[in-house]
Amino acid sequence: MAQLIDRRPNAKGKSTVNRQRFLRRYKTQIKKAISEQISERSITNVDGGESVSIPTRDITEPTFRNDQGGVREGVYPGNKEFAPGDKIKRPPGGGGGKGGSASDSGEGEDDFVFEISKDEYLDMLFDDLELPNLQKNQLSKMTKSKTVRAGFTNDGVPTNINIVRSLRSALSRRVAMGAEPRRRLRELEAELLGLQQDVGGDEGRRRELEREIEALRNRIRKIPFIDTFDLRFNNFVQRPEPTSQAVMFCLMDVSGSMDQETKDIAKRFYILLYLFLTRSYRDVDVVYIRHHTQAKEVDEEEFFYSRETGGTIVSSALEMTRDIIAQRYPPTDWNIYAAQASDGDNWNDDSPVCEQILAKQLLPQLRYYAYVEITRRDHQGLWAHYENLLAKHDNFAMQHIREYEDIYPVFREFFRKQTQ
């Protein structure tokens, strides 16, 4: 007799280890592929995994093999018109003489394309990175409470009555309270029946029995259908939960000096930041604030692609951020992040103001403020004033980006795992 084994419930993904080994080995290539694809994603599109393609030549497993050429003879099925001695033109794509399938071998240099899951994608993207101040944040943020079910209680408000449980306990109480009288009743009825059949029965005893039966019936009848004692209530308690919402302010200078390339670089940076935040927070709001001499809250499309001209006053955007936080995102409920991208231009008298607003008003409320300066020129006034902030505020960071290639390293620099 055969042994029949159901393996289906066994742990799936026996190859998971091997798959991880594969990803581990080709980490460099995969990371490269991922960073090339970043520009094609919208900031908030992080639901899917990613299709990654790495060159096949990197992952071949070489063996000693025969190449095309030399003298070889093959046998094929389905001869139709050939006779011995016939000459056939060599089909393109190498020898072998396999009419139809010769092209298969010719196209072996395709890339190896495969899907990685969202988690794997993000892991690759944020390898070794850590959300700033996360630890501290989670400890201090146990403020938000959430109502959760917590079983049943015997008292509560009428709206919370659990009907099924209440009736169930009423029923069991009725059964319990009636059990003894009913048993007694059955005994007496049996005795009465005996007396009635016995012609010379004891008349006094019979009457006594009837009276007693009547009393018992009354007693059973009087057991209440439902009693306050039976009522059961759904119980709810408030449980403190670490807040899982974050808001990310994207600040960008759109004055005439910012060209499309600079904006694209900024976009990539924001995508990274958004992806990064969604790793740690369930809900992430994004607020786009663009500014020249005045700040304006806009949607993503307008943020990146509409053109503006004019001078630059950075403090206008900072003030707007402060106001929006005050109106919509109380820091007790929200983890607030802000990232500012600029080419470094600012109206000179404005830079000290920016420093003041950040130091006094914004930074105390923010988890993290990142400033990226995207320019190939030298730093200007804003950079110098921001540098003053660095020493005093560990939730403030600034970096300089020159080229596309800088984005990722700079991003990593911002969020590098904080050493103890």
Partner 1 sequence: MSEPISTGAEWTFELIEQYHAEIEAIAEEYGLDTYPNQIELITAEQMLDAYASVGMPIGYSHWSFGKHFIKNEQQYRRGHMGLAYEIVINSNPCIAYLMEENTMMMQALVIAHASFGHNSFFKGNYLFRTWTDAEAIIDYLVFAKRYINECEERYGIDEVENLLDSCHALQNHGVDRYKRPNPVSMREEQERLKEREAYLQSQVNDLWHKTIPRKEAEEERERQPNFPEEPQENILYFVEKNAPLLEPWQREVVRIVRKIGQYFYPQRQTQVMNEGWACFWHYHIMNALYDRGKVTDGFMLEFLQSHTNVVAQPDFDSKFYSGINPYALGYAMMTDIKRICVDPDEEDRKWFPDIAGSDWQQTLDFAMRNFKDESFISQFLSPRLIREFKLFSILDDEQQSELEVTSIHNDSGYRYIRQALSNQYNLSMNEPNIQVYNVDIRGDRSLTLRHIPHNNVPLADTSEEVLKHLRRLWGFGVKLETVDADGEVIRTEECAA
Torsion angle (degrees, nearest 10) of CA 328, 334, 337, 338: 10
6 vs 378, beta carbon nearer partner 1: 6
The nearest distance, CB 27 to partner 1, in angstroms, is: 11
Shortest Å, Cβ 386 to partner 1: 42
Kindly state the tokens that stand for 146: 């959430």
Exposed / middle / buried, residue 234 (Cβ in 10 Å: 0-12, 13-18, 19+): middle
What's the min distance (Å) between Cβ of 108 and partner 1? 11
For partner 1, give the closer residue by CB, 62 or 200.
Answer: 62
* Least distance (Å) between residue 50 CB and partner 1: 14
- In terms of Cα–Cα distance, which of 271, 265, 370 is closest to 44? 271
The structure tokens listed for 250 are: 């994207």
Taking the complex as a whole, the smallest distance from the CB of residue 197 to partner 1 amounts, in Å, to 58
CB nearer to partner 1: give 95 or 381: 95
Which CB, 24 or 146, lies closer to partner 1?
Answer: 24
- Which residues, in sequence order, are bridge partners of residue 340? 251, 371
- Of 167, 383, 366, 344, the C-alpha closest to 277 is 366
- Of 5 and 391, which has the nearer Cβ to partner 1? 5
**Which H or E element spans position 195?**
helix 163-197
Question: Where do contacts with partner 1 occur on this chain (CB under 8 A)?
Answer: 1-8, 10, 12-15, 17-26, 59-80, 82-90, 95-101, 104, 112-115
Torsion angle of C-alpha atoms 41, 42, 48, 51, degrees rounded to 10 = -10
The minimum distance between CB 99 and partner 1, in angstroms, equals 5
Helix, strand, or coil (residue 385): helix
Cβ closer to partner 1: 8 or 146?
8
Measure Cα distances from 225 to 51, 215, 229 in Å: 66, 19, 11
Q: Where are the beta strands (DSSP E) in 243-395?
A: 245-253, 283-291, 295-298, 335-342, 368-374
Report the relative pairing of strands 396-401 and 368-374 from DSSP bridges.
Answer: parallel
Taking the complex as a whole, how short is the minimal distance between the CB of residue 61 and partner 1, in angstroms? 6
Which residue number, 23 or 213, has a Cβ lying nearer to partner 1?
A: 23
